[in-house]
Structure 1
């Protein structure tokens, strides 16, 4: 069953009326097809109109929708023979950042990404997708492993940010994020990154410093959450919608600014309404992005990636 967002209340009301009609006619004695068809057409039209003019804050809500596909769904839908590789070989195996080897439509790849979890137990186990230092050190290890064997790296980013706890800071959170970003820039194999939900702060950049950065149509990517920005500037999280507008967090804004390279379209109403279609669309975009680097040697790939990020923000 769909979980409707606050701005989708008119759509939810229409769908509620449709469900009520179907329940009333469940015994088959009343023909309601015509009426349901009219209401469904009205609901679909309202959905199209709503999603055609989403504000940055509304896109943030869509990006955070709990029913959006998660890393495990992308791996299940796109990666064959996935072999998870755990641990940073120093402290622990962080469950917020998952990685491993697999095959993406016939191409061997290393896949690394954030897993938020999709129910209470899994969210706690994966720490809501907020990586700890050992998670970023695991990512570094896997990127270097991929580089050694000449395998392209695919990273899927979906995090509100790196874990801010005291223990994480004691274990070198900032250093681990910086080293992971450095590893992204250093490896000589193509690195394709995709922002599939939230791209929050350095916790996202540490996996998103790729040759090509893709972003879902209704994903967001920013240096801080809109609530965090509003709390700093206005001393209240109530100003989050204004902050989201000012921060240019949407895929459309970031494409214009040159921060990302391509926008992956989502099904009508967001990836959570048709996960399989969203996963297929991402697979198509990843394959296309990887193909662009066929025949290039390591130095060309590395140089192109560095130039890309040095050029961001220059007039």
Structure 2
């Protein structure tokens, strides 16, 4: 029996209006609902501090901590939670686990999907995204809430990954995590950049640790796109705001966990966030079903489509890569539909749109004055100064060492008088000295060029200037090459 056409689903007619006003914590501060997150007052204090920082101080306070090689990864953090781990799966940078948490005296299993930074810095390839999609589907079928932990500089962008359909695997994971009918809680535990982090951020609730960072594109990639504005990646990071405090202020995340990897005395905060966060999502779904009867009508439509599957819908299901529920036992209840719909509202609320007029070049937006060229010059000059204060020892370079010894030897006898027979065998001293000097300069120049690479032009120019006038060029940094002269003088005083 074919399906009869029905009127438009009222739930989705109201979706845009609901998304504009949607909040998981209406008229409440997140810290009053979720245990273990920072209060709005604490976040404002940190925001004031970040606003008053220069670019380098901002990077040191926000980006640098999550890039430290010694930072704990997802597996270490999960084990630090000190909860029973029922199952673990490790496949390179993909990590998943099933852990048992205490929900007010009741033990519940939580599924964790994470990027493990100890392998390839947490970068995922197509096989990892596919594994995550499968894990999410398996958790949802068993009605296990999902926690995703983001810690990656981005998805694998090499040729092999793209040949294996990397973009499709990312899209599939986004769709799978948006489609699951269980509560999903996303936590940024380190770097959260680009297509590597976006899929795991498709959750009902999105939080971050204090030193997590998140952006839809890595600041270095953004700097490449806006190179004509002379912006360094550090300036791009500060301009868009990648810290959790700025992300919270912008409405891109829902809260900040008062915990950082290695803080054993605050691990309870992370454990409480997971428990109270999932509880708040479930309470929100219960309230939504109670207050919006149109979701019951939407669920009735879903049941009718399931019981009376049309030919076109059957063909669509047959070609779908998403995990579809085929048995009544697996079919979601109305609260599962609510989780999915509320997730959509939350994600839609985070997505900012603009008009083509405002997007154009004449839009009223201030582009910061970039100092990319000056920053690169300062960094190269600083690197040269470091080398100049602690130069390489040619003792460990055989070719240079031989050239130097030959030069010293020829210079020591440059004034000697030699007869024609001696000159025939040993050469003319002045000519030998000139040849030795030329060879030494050539080999030294090639060695320094290979060592300095992209900075060789600036560094060789600085070296030539110094050799031409060593006394007046003893100080290689001038005041216009220092970003903050007053701060430098204050540090020196």
Q: What is the TM-score when the length of structure 1 is the normalising length?
A: 0.72
1:240 has 2:233 as partner: yes
Aligned counterparts of 1:85 and 1:72: Cα–Cα separation in 2: 10
2:272 to 271, 284, 288: 284
Aligned counterparts of 2:71 and 2:190: Cα–Cα separation in 1: 8
1:164-183 to 2 correspondences below 5 Å: 164-183=157-176
Name structure 2 gaps, 5 residues minimum.
Answer: 1-44, 287-334, 354-493
CA RMSD of aligned residues (A): 2.5
Cα deviation per residue 1:256-310 (whole Å; 9 max; x = unaligned)?
Answer: 22211011124xxxx35x4323533222211110111336410111110001111
Q: Give, in angstroms, the shift of residue 238 of structure 1.
A: 7.9
Deviating beyond 4 angstroms after TM superposition, the runs of 4 or more aligned structure 1 residues are: 51-56, 235-238
1:84 has 2:88 as partner: yes
Name structure 1 gaps, 5 residues minimum.
Answer: 1-47, 87-93, 118-125
1:189 to 173, 182, 198: 182
1:75 has 2:68 as partner: no
Cα deviation per residue 1:148-206 (whole Å; 9 max; x = unaligned)?
Answer: 11000011100000111111111111111111011111000000010011001111011
Q: Give, in angstroms, the shift of residue 72 of structure 1.
A: 1.1
Aligned counterparts of 1:308 and 1:182: Cα–Cα separation in 2: 15
Q: Give, in angstroms, the shift of residue 247 of structure 1.
A: 1.7
Match of 1:64 in 2: 67
SS at match of 2:282: coil
C-alpha contact 1:132 1:162 (8 A) present in aligned 2: yes
Q: Give, in angstroms, the shift of residue 56 of structure 1.
A: 4.2
Q: Give, in angstroms, the shift of residue 232 of structure 1.
A: 2.7
Q: How many residues align?
A: 247
Question: Which one has the bigger strand percentage?
Answer: 1
C-alpha contact 1:257 1:313 (8 A) present in aligned 2: no
Cα gap change, 1:298 to 1:70, in 2 (>3 Å): same
Aligned counterparts of 2:253 and 2:86: Cα–Cα separation in 1: 27
Aligned counterparts of 1:141 and 1:311: Cα–Cα separation in 2: 27
C-alpha contact 1:85 1:101 (8 A) present in aligned 2: no
Q: What is the TM-score when the length of structure 2 is the normalising length?
A: 0.47
> Based on CA coordinates, which of the two structures has the bigger radius of gyration?
2
